[in-house]
């Protein structure tokens, strides 16, 4: 069965349907007929009603070819009769505009058809962005000359590159590319993407089913075994609420074992015994059972019981999925359906889909950098090097763009562009503003081109720039003052032609001197009169001195002062995306100094955001900013020192010492909630933190909680606007799924993140833990909640020292905060109020059990306890 996906192409190419169905909504579909002339685009493929367009606007380079015409190819559909091949260049990439965070079925077709008359199989690599997808060998002896590769993948940005990479002497080629958006809550793997092995419809009818019968355009192949009997129904089958929506023609047929006492068994081969596999089984009872008949069976996958006593629903479809990925010993995988002792009928299965997990570990280059460099490429129409400027600009390193240097830290960190050398590249026109969006650029070389206009002032805004080379162009005017200031204060090296003047560099003409002298005399007279007026006003009025706030003035420190307060960066407190946090002393007071790393994925924008926010907001539950350093490339933030580190350290046990008790945890949760509430309703304009997590909740000497790290914070609109559209930012595991899917940011995104923190506080569990059956804390909590046992959910380190009513109320609140729909989540005011109630309930129960005055345990007064939930 390992070659079934290879055979699928020809079956698909000769695809037929009994009757045409009216075309359904193709919103979000991308269907590229590779090699199709632009004057023939678009067209509707008559068998599927799919609209195909030419690929000419999505690829640079390549040539077009046609498969051989013969009796075998006469029935092949139009999208696969032409192709594009790439005799030039090593890497050639299709660049597609997609929606970030969307789950797509991505399908690529390769039909050789001896287009070149060589009858030689093309062999090459297929990449998805910077990661290898698979190796292609189009001509399989005895099996035809076509291949389909298909994956289900969540896009990480609004740009998707599909690249063909030459690996030997043969020429890469491609026939078609298809993208189909899927529901985000379907086809979910713990990690990675899903590579299709089969979509099988259990029937002996010789037809394939795809769009428009299948709304997602999956291609279902008929499949049958000699030891099976096929059954079918003419009745419609309902029930597609789980989002998988199998076509009626798929779900209305099924297979049962011919020997009714035998199990129904499906076997396939995995490429490797280490492959992780997911099977999606489709069931619907499509026979009308008599009153004394029962169909019940158990489902065993690779010897592990996944479902017991399963009864298919009458004329209603259901999809069953193995809860954890399968690993097939020896590469042989098996799903077995066996009837139970009380079952009178054999097991039944309508269809199956099988996927293996495929990892794409290398992060794509930082999105803003990619957009900026592609805007530069478009502005200059870089024909000389356009063949090399394809795909991801930084990774893989062997394909990085000529003239582009990148900082690649590790595979999980998006690379950043740090140098751009376009010298002697035939550039003309002005220097484009999009260059300033390369915010970590250190060197810029545009020398020896035909650039015109003036030296732009916006170059001074790139705080990381160290060297700018502009000589050998047709620039005019003078160096902007902002750039001269950067030269003087930050050590920027700027190389321009002699005709570009700096202020104070040239001698003005005599008439200019005379004019300036006259103006100066008038100005001096006016200044003297103004000073006399001010002096008299001061004498006649009470003395009032207006000057800049000393406090504000002292907030900015020199880098030498930062080095001094940290004793030359001697003691490290921690590390993060911004850089390293050091321990320091300022006026004998402890401080925490966060220093921006040169390879930081955040950078000056986030630094500026945090400084501006903390200079204007003050709250007891927000970490105070003592000062900052903004000196060229040396950026630092000086905070008040929080003696007990962050919340996550205490929950994970890494901090050592005693475990946080239940009342301490509730107090920390309340104070954190109040800090977030202040951002939402106390700031003007209101702010969304965007990175609420347990490592950003710091604890003081008496374990008072304060929210920290505001580099990703954003203001949000109020009134008629319900959200602000912005790029995704935050931390994996804490991200609001609605924000992730739609790019809609609201204060409820913080509520979701806080709900995850609350789950951590309650359970003591890490947010993502691969060793759990369900790695994500949300799914784990839901599975544990199904048992209704509070002890199995609560952190065992608490040793049952909590009140059941209080803990249930906190848990219910956490689940309310992580509701998938933001409109169903509470605001932070309500969250803080209900957490206070949880603490009151706990203190009241402790007071009763110890027969003490309740006022000893808390300063809160309890006026009503009628809404306290009972123990489950």
Name the phi and psi angles at 569, rounded to 5.
60, 50
- Which residues have C-beta within 8 Å of that of residue 293, sequence separation ≥ 6? 344, 345
Name residue 166's beta-bridge partners. 124
Domain extent for 843: 645-872
Q: List the one residue out of 267, 219, 252 whose CA is nearest residue 348.
A: 252
Confirm if 763 and 795 have CB atoms less than 8 A apart. Answer: yes
Same domain, 139 and 27: yes
Catalytic residue among 161, 249, 691, 795: 691
Q: Is there a contact between 705 and 647 (Cβ–Cβ < 8 Å)?
A: yes
Residue ranges in the chain whose pLDDT is less than 70: 1-24, 71-73, 140-144, 383-387, 503-554, 576-577, 598-605, 616, 656-657, 711, 713-730, 740, 743, 848-872
CB of 845 closer than 8 Å to CB of 802:
no
CA dist., res. 855 & res. 414, Å (int) = 53
Per-residue DSSP letter, 833: H
| Class of residue 118 by CB neighbours under 10 A (exposed 0-12, middle 13-18, buried 19+) | exposed
Q: 693 labelled as ligand-binding? A: no
pLDDT for 529 equals 54
Domain end position, chosen among 330, 358, 386? 358
**507 in a domain, yes or no?**
no
Asked if residues 787 and 822 have their Cβ atoms less than 8 Å apart, the reply is: no
For residues 657 and 792, membership in a common domain is answered with yes
Predicted pLDDT at 330: 80
Q: Is there a single domain that holds both residue 703 and residue 756? A: yes
Which backbone phi and psi does 433 adopt, to 5 degrees?
A: -60, -20
- Over residues 493-531, the pLDDT tens digits come to 999 999 998 865 544 444 444 444 455 555 545 554 555
Asked if 27 and 174 sit in the same domain, the reply is yes
For 524: left if phi > 0, alpha if psi spans -120 to 50, otherwise beta; the answer is: alpha
Q: Cα angle vertex 361, ends 356, 363, to 5°? A: 140
Q: Do the beta carbons of residue 724 and residue 717 sit within 8 Å?
A: yes
Instruction: Locate 91 and state its tokens.
Output: 């890497």
Specify whether 772 is located in the same domain as 849: yes
Are residue 354 and residue 422 in the same domain, yes or no? Answer: no
583 domain-assigned: no
| φ and ψ at residue 707, rounded to 5 degrees | -80, 140
Last residue of a domain, one of 358, 388, 409: 358
At 266, list the tokens.
């499906």
β-pairing, 276-283 vs 318-321, is: antiparallel
Residue 454 domain-assigned (yes or no)? yes
Please tell me the number of Cα atoms within 13 Å of 539 on its side-chain side. 5
110 found inside a domain: yes
Same domain, 392 and 351: no
Are residues 256 and 378 both part of a single domain?
no
Do the beta carbons of residue 349 and residue 250 sit within 8 Å? no
Helix, strand, or coil here: 617? coil
Q: What is the CATH number of the domain that holds 308?
A: 2.60.120
Query: What CATH number has the domain bearing residue 664?
Result: 1.10.510.10
pTM across the whole model: 0.60
Tell me: do 392 and 353 sit in the same domain.
Answer: no
Instruction: State how many domains the chain has.
Output: 4
What pLDDT, on the 0 to 100 scale, is given for residue 518?
A: 52
The answer to whether the CB of 502 falls within 8 A of the CB of 478 is: yes
CB 34 within 8 A of CB 176: yes
CATH number at 429 reads 3.80.10.10
- Give yes or no: residues 140 and 77 share one domain: yes
The confidence score (pLDDT) of residue 738 equals: 81
The answer to whether position 716 is within a domain reads: yes
Domain final residue, candidates 449, 479, 495: 495
Q: What CATH number did the domain enclosing 76 receive?
A: 2.60.120.430
Q: Considering the domain boundaries, does residue 739 fall inside one?
A: yes
Which one-letter DSSP state was computed for residue 68? P
Alpha carbon 323 to its chain's center:
24
Catalytic (active site) residue 789: no
User: How far is Cα 402 from Cα 870, in angstroms, rounded to an integer?
Assistant: 67
Spell out the long-range contacts of 374-383 with Cβ–Cβ below 8 A and sequence spacing 24 or more: 375/432, 375/434, 375/437, 376/420, 376/422, 376/432, 376/434, 376/435, 379/429, 379/432, 379/434, 380/422, 380/425, 380/427, 380/428, 380/429, 380/432, 382/422, 382/425
Q: Is residue 200 part of a domain?
A: no
pLDDT, tens only, 370-382: 999 999 998 888 7
Neighbour count for residue 840 (Cβ, 10 Å): 22
Q: 804-817 and 777-785 helices cross at what angle (nearest 10)?
A: 130
Return d(Cα 107, Cα 177) in angstroms, integer: 6
The verdict on 273 and 172 lying in the same domain is no
Is 870 found in the same domain as 730? yes
* DSSP codes joined into one string, 142-189: TTBSEEEEEEEEE-SSSEEEEEEEE-SSSPPEE-EEEEEE--TTSS--
Note whether residue 505 is domain-resident: no
């Amino acid at each position: 069965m390992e070659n079934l996906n290879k055979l699928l192409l020809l079956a698909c190419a000769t695809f037929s349907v009994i009757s045409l169905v009216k075309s359904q909504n193709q919103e979000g579909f991308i269907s590229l007929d590779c090699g199709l002339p632009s004057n023939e685009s678009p067209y509707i493929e008559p068998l599927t009603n799919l609209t195909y367009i030419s690929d000419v606007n999505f690829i640079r380079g390549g040539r077009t070819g046609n498969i051989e015409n013969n009796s075998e190819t006469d029935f092949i559909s139009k999208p696969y009769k032409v192709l594009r091949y790439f005799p030039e260049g090593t890497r050639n990439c299709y660049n597609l505009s997609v929606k970030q965070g969307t789950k797509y079925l991505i399908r690529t077709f390769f039909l050789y058809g001896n287009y070149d008359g060589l009858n030689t199989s093309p062999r090459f690599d297929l990449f998805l962005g910077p990661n290898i997808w698979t190796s292609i060998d189009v001509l399989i002896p005895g099996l035809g000359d076509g291949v389909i590769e298909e994956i289900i993948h969540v896009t990480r940005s609004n740009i998707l590159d599909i690249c063909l990479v030459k690996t030997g002497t043969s020429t890469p080629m491609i026939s078609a590319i298809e993208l189909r958006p899927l529901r985000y809550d379907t086809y979910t793997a713990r990690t990675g993407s899903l590579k299709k092995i089969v979509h099988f419809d259990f029937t002996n009818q010789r037809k394939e089913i795809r769009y428009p019968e299948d709304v997602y355009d999956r291609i279902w192949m008929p499949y049958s075994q000699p030891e099976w009997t096929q059954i079918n129904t003419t009745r419609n089958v309902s029930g597609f609420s789980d989002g998988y929506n199998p076509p009626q023609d798929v779900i209305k047929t099924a297979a049962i074992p011919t020997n009714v006492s035998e199990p129904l068994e499906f076997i396939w081969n995995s490429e490797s015994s280490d492959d992780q596999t997911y099977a999606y089984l489709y069931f619907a009872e499509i026979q009308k059972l008599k009153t004394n008949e029962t169909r019940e069976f158990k489902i065993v996958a690779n010897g592990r019981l996944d479902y017991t006593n399963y009864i298919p629903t009458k004329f209603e479809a259901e999809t069953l999925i193995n809860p954890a990925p399968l690993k097939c010993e020896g590469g042989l995988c098996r799903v077995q359906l066996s009837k139970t002792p009380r079952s009178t009928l054999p097991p039944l299965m309508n269809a199956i889909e099988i996927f293996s997990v495929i990892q794409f570990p290398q992060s794509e280059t930082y999105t803003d950098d990619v957009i900026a460099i592609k805007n530069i490429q478009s502005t200059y129409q870089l024909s000389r090097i356009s063949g090399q400027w394809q795909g991801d600009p930084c990774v893989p390193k062997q394909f990085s763009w000529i003239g582009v240097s990148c900082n690649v830290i590790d595979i999980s960190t998006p690379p950043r562009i740090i140098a751009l050398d376009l010298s002697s590249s035939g550039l003309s026109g002005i220097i484009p503003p999009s260059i300033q969006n390369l915010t970590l650029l250190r060197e810029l070389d545009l020398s020896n081109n035909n650039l015109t206009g003036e030296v732009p002032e916006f170059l001074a805004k790139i705080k990381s720039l160290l060297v700018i080379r502009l000589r050998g162009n047709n620039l005019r005017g003078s160096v902007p003052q902002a750039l001269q200031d950067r030269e003087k204060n930050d050590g920027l090296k700027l190389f321009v032609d002699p005709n570009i003047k700096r202020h104070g560099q040239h001698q003005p003409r005599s008439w200019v001197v005379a004019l300036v002298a006259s103006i100066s005399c008038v100005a001096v007279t006016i200044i003297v009169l103004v000073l006399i007026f001010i002096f008299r006003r001061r004498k006649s009025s009470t003395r009032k001195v207006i000057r800049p706030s000393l406090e504000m003035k002292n907030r900015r420190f020199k880098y030498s002062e930062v080095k001094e307060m940290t004793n030359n960066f001697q003691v490290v407190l921690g590390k993060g995306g911004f850089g390293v946090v050091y321990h320091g002393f300022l006026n004998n007071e402890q401080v925490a100094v966060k220093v921006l790393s040169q390879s930081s994925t955040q950078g000056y924008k986030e630094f500026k955001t945090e400084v501006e926010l903390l200079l204007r907001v003050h709250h007891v539950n927000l970490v105070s900013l003592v000062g900052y350093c903004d000196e060229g490339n040396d950026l630092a933030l000086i905070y008040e020192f929080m003696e007990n580190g962050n919340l996550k350290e205490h929950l994970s046990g890494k901090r050592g010492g005693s475990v946080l008790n239940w009342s301490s945890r509730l107090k920390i949760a309340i104070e954190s909630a109040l800090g977030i509430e202040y951002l939402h309703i106390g700031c003007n304009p209101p702010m969304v933190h965007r990175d609420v997590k347990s490592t950003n909740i710091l604890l003081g000497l008496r374990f008072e909680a304060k929210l920290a790290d505001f580099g990703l914070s954003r203001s949000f609109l109020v009134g008629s606007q319900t959200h602000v559209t912005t790029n995704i930012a935050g931390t994996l595991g804490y991200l609001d799924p609605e924000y992730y899917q739609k790019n809609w940011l609201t204060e409820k995104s913080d509520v979701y993140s806080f709900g995850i923190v609350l789950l951590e506080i309650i359970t003591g569990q890490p947010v993502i833990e691969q060793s759990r059956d369900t790695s994500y804390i949300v799914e784990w909590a839901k599975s544990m909640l199904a048992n209704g046992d509070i002890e199995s959910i609560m952190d065992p380190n608490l040793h049952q020292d909590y009140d059941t009513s209080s803990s249930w109320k906190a848990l219910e609140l956490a689940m309310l905060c992580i509701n998938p729909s933001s409109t169903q989540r509470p605001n932070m005011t309500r969250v803080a109020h209900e957490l206070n109630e949880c603490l009151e309930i706990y203190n009241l129960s402790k007071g009763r059990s110890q027969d003490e005055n309740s006022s000893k345990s808390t300063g809160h007064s309890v006026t009503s306890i009628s809404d306290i939930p009972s123990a489950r």
